[in-house]
Amino acid sequence: MKELLEKRTDVAFFLKLTLIRKNPELEKKSRAIVCGKSLKALDDAFEGIAPPPKECPSRELEENTKFMETNGFNGVPLTLFPDGSIQAGFVESSVLEKRIDEAARSAEKNDAAKRAQNGKGR
């Protein structure tokens, strides 16, 4: 993701941490990242550096986990694209960029078709 973000200014990622793996150590790390609202803590976690423990009243992890379970997603990482397509597992930067571009084109076509049906054209 970082490689792609350095290359593209038209792409954004929204990371949603979950409790899908039901691991107490991962929960502590995830809660520390969510409560600390720190990109550095997230970067450190990806590098294997545990963030300092932090607690807060946030229900974000539980809500994200419920979304995953409700929609039948049982693994991470999971990438949702603009056209609604899904990629499970790690994705190389070049493949991720290609999928993003394909999804954006697909979404544009769908939007254009809807506008045409509504008589609004382009």
Q: What percent of the chain has pLDDT over 90?
A: 17
Separation of alpha carbons 83 and 46, rounded Å: 28
Q: 18-46: string of b/e by CB count within 10 Å (b at 16+)?
A: bbbeeeeebbebbbbbbbbebeebbebbe
Confidence at residue 120, expressed as pLDDT on a 0 to 100 scale = 62
Instruction: Tell whether pTM > 0.95.
Output: no
Determine phi and psi for 86, rounding to 5 degrees: -130, 140
Residue boundaries of the structural domains of the chain? 9-74, 77-122
Confidence at residue 66, expressed as pLDDT on a 0 to 100 scale = 93
Confidence at residue 70, expressed as pLDDT on a 0 to 100 scale = 93
pLDDT, tens digit, for every residue of 17-56?
A: 888 778 888 888 899 999 988 888 888 888 989 888 888 8
Burial of 97 (0-12, 13-18, 19+ CB in 10 A): middle
Amino acid letter, 81: F
